[in-house]
Structure formats: structure tokens, C-alpha cells
Amino acid sequence: MHISIIGSPGCGKTTLFQALTGLLSEKKNGADAAATIDVPDERIERLVDIFHPRKTTYGKIAVADTVAIEEGNIRKETIHPKTLQEMRGADAFLLVLRNFKNGKAVDLPGELRTILDEFIIADMVQVEARLERIGKQGGKKDDPVLLHEASSLRECLDHLNAGKPLATLPLFQRDGKHLKGFRFLSQKPMMAVVNCDEETAGRFDSLEGDLKSSLPGHIPVMAACGKLEAELALVQPGERAEFMAEYGIEETVAGRIIRLAYHTLGLISFLTVGEDECRAWPIHRGMNAQEAAGTIHTSLSDRFIRAETVSYEDFMVYGGFPGCRKAGTWRLEGKSYIVRDGDILTIRAGN
């Protein structure tokens, strides 16, 4: 999973990057500062205590601190091409909105609108360029595939011209797979973090309720104090509880954003265990056992036979695989089985 942190100048997105990663953000040659963080999972920790594996692997999230976005960036082509390319490759955007005084008035809806408008313009440029190329196809213009693509792109363009992001266009829920390669910016799943001052810490729940009514409904929102969270990321683990209690922080922003990202992207994790490795494998909710096997290795999907399956809860209740077999909760599932969060899988594959 790859998340790009997006925001206007001075919104505190780089501070939030530090809070998430514990690293300072440094951009080189126009490229975004990036880091990979582990997804905490208590289930893996408990399984490690049982199996004592040689290797422990958590789910991973790649986070990029993207260049600040201002009105006119796309038209003026002031965003580095490499940055745009990396933004298109992101699985989701984390939009940071400023809710503290820095000499400018606070305008959360306006700040979000500026970012969305830049995404919309970038997508319009992309759609118009592709429609122009299709129009020059000559004898291929009557090709059913091209006609279908052109029709879909015109529907996208109408939506964009109305000032609406493609994330709200029903086409992508109905019939948008053939447009996946465009990686439209305004179609990306988005989450908003409202960056507040220290005085607001401890009152985020009530604040989030007010914020949801002022921002678009398709974008989930949470509040945080990036400055405090960045300081917390640098505190020694043994001193963090005291720091959090002092400022009324119940959970780190990293944990909250990870949960929000999993929910927004529709992700779950299945688990594999053994003396060699205990590992969490993030997959999209609704994937079947054969598809899940392919995330381990493509050959396991190609040669899939069955998946030995036990839920994490049953594994812990019955004390492992033998107890689950005795209790009748251990089972063999076929390729169409829909994997559930916390399933412990052992893939059987042919030669």
C-alpha cells in the first residue's frame, strides 16, 4: 500500500510525515521523501510468542511526503513530472488541512477545494489528450473497444467539467475497469487529516463531528495535532505513555491513520505462521483463497489446490492446529473461498 501525503504550503504535512515515520523529510532531485512503516498487529505479536520464528513480517505501508500543492500548479506545470507520476502510482491520498493560525485565515473547505480542483484539471488534461489521440486513429475509430473507451472518457470529461472529482462518478462502480490504467488523481481514495494546534489535543472526537459536516461525504476525516505527534514519534517508547496522558492522546496518529487507510481501501490481513516466519499479508476484502495465495507467490495461485484454514480466534482458543482439528474448526477450503480478516492459511499447491 502506497499513500501520498498531500497538502497546501504551511499545512504541516511534512510534520505529519515525521509523526508517521519518525524520520525527517528530505526531497532530492524533485523526488518525494518516502519511507515504509510497519502495520502494528497484536495477532502477529502473540503468534511470534508461540512459534518463535526466525523472521517476523508485518504488513507494510509506503508513505511519501509529496510537494505542496497550490492553485494553478497544474496549468503552470510547476509540479515536477516525477512527482505527478508518483502521485498517480499512489493507492490513496492523505490530505492534510490546516486548522491552526499561521498568519492566514483557516478555510478547510477552501483548502480542500483547491487541492481537488488541481486533481480535476490534471485529469481533464489527461482525458482530453487521450480523446484527441483516439480521434486520430483513422480506420480504427470504429473499433468497439476504442468506441467504449471514448464513450467512457467523454462521460468522465463531462463530470470533470462540472467541477466534480471522478471518485463521485458512478461509472467507476459500474464499469470502470478499462480505465484503470489512467490512474486518475481525482478518482483516488482520499482521507483528510485536519491538523490542529496543541490546544485542541484531547478534543478530537467532538471536533471531527463538526468537520464531517463541512467536508465532502466521500472523504473520511480525522483530527490530529501534527506537532505533538511528531514530538511523540521521537520520544523513547518507555516514556510515550506519560507523554500521551499529559496531552490526552489516546492513540498515536500513526495507528489511527493506518486503521483509516485499511478501512478506506477495503483491506484486511490474512496470516501465515511457522518456525521460519510469522507474517501478515494485506489483501483487499473479498479476495478468494486462490487470489490470496498469489500474494505470497504467483506460482501458488497457478498451482493452488486447497487452503488449510483456521481463524486466529479459534487458533488461540483451542491452543493451536491440533486443538482446532479436534474442535472441528480446522478446515480445507477451495479456490473460491472468501478469505476473512485474521484467517491463518497454509496453502497446498501442486508441483
User: What are the tens digits of pLDDT across the range 281-296?
Assistant: 999 999 999 999 999 9
Mean pLDDT of 308-329: 98
Q: Is the pLDDT of residue 42 over 70?
A: yes
Residue 118: is it exposed, middle or buried by C-beta count within 10 angstroms (0-12/13-18/19+)?
Answer: buried
Residue type for position 263: H
- Convert the pLDDT of each residue in 187-197 to its tens digit: 999 999 999 98
Q: Which three cell numbers stand for residue 318?
A: 483451542
Q: Is the pLDDT of residue 30 over 60?
A: no
- Tell me if the pTM is above 0.85: yes
Q: Which three cell numbers stand for residue 342?
A: 485474521
| Helix (H/G/I), strand (E/B), else coil: 163 | coil
Residues written for the chain: 351
- If pLDDT is split at 50, 70 and 90, which confidence band does 138 have? low
What's the topology of domain 286-349? Ubiquitin-like (UB roll) (3.10.20)
- Convert the pLDDT of each residue in 236-266 to its tens digit: 888 989 999 988 888 889 999 999 999 999 9
Beta strands in 33-140 (DSSP E): 33-39, 55-57, 59-65, 92-99
Mean pLDDT of 132-156: 86
With beta carbons less than 8 A apart as the criterion, state whether 223 and 253 touch. no
Among 207, 205, 314, 213, residue whose Cα is nearest residue 249: 205
- Convert the pLDDT of each residue in 319-332 to its tens digit: 999 999 999 999 99
- If pLDDT is split at 50, 70 and 90, which confidence band does 103 have? confident
Report residue 140 CA to chain centroid gap. 38
- If pLDDT is split at 50, 70 and 90, which confidence band does 213 have? confident
- If pLDDT is split at 50, 70 and 90, which confidence band does 141 have? low
Comparison of pLDDT for 198 and 267, the residue scoring more: 267
Report residue 267 CA to chain centroid gap. 9
- If pLDDT is split at 50, 70 and 90, which confidence band does 273 have? very high
Q: Is the pLDDT of residue 208 over 80?
A: no
| Helix (H/G/I), strand (E/B), else coil: 142 | helix
With beta carbons less than 8 A apart as the criterion, state whether 252 and 229 touch. yes
- Convert the pLDDT of each residue in 44-72 to its tens digit: 999 999 999 999 999 999 999 998 999 98
Q: Which three cell numbers stand for residue 147?
A: 468506441
Q: Report the distance separating Cα 230 and Cα 128, nearest Å.
A: 42
Among 116, 118, 141, 143, residue whose Cα is nearest residue 131: 141
Comparison of pLDDT for 151 and 198, the residue scoring more: 151
Looking at residue 32, its pLDDT comes to 73
Looking at residue 29, its pLDDT comes to 52
User: Average per-residue pLDDT in the chain?
Assistant: 91
Among 43, 41, 40, 38, residue whose Cα is nearest residue 311: 43
Place of cell 518507555: 238
Q: Which residues contact 92 (CB under 8 A, 6 or more apart)?
A: 1, 2, 3, 4, 188, 189, 190, 191, 261, 264, 265
- If pLDDT is split at 50, 70 and 90, which confidence band does 216 have? confident
Report residue 272 CA to chain centroid gap. 22
With beta carbons less than 8 A apart as the criterion, state whether 305 and 84 touch. no
With beta carbons less than 8 A apart as the criterion, state whether 128 and 154 touch. no
Q: Is the pLDDT of residue 175 over 70?
A: yes
Q: Report the distance separating Cα 258 and Cα 256, nearest Å.
A: 5
Looking at residue 25, its pLDDT comes to 58
Residue type for position 148: H
**Residue 218 CB neighbour total at 10 angstroms:** 10
Q: Domain map of the chain by residue range?
A: 286-349
Looking at residue 75, its pLDDT comes to 81
In the beta sheet, which residues pair with residue 280? Answer: 271
Instruction: Provide the edge-to-edge strand list for the sheet that holds 221-224.
Output: 33-39, 59-65, 2-7, 92-99, 190-196, 221-224
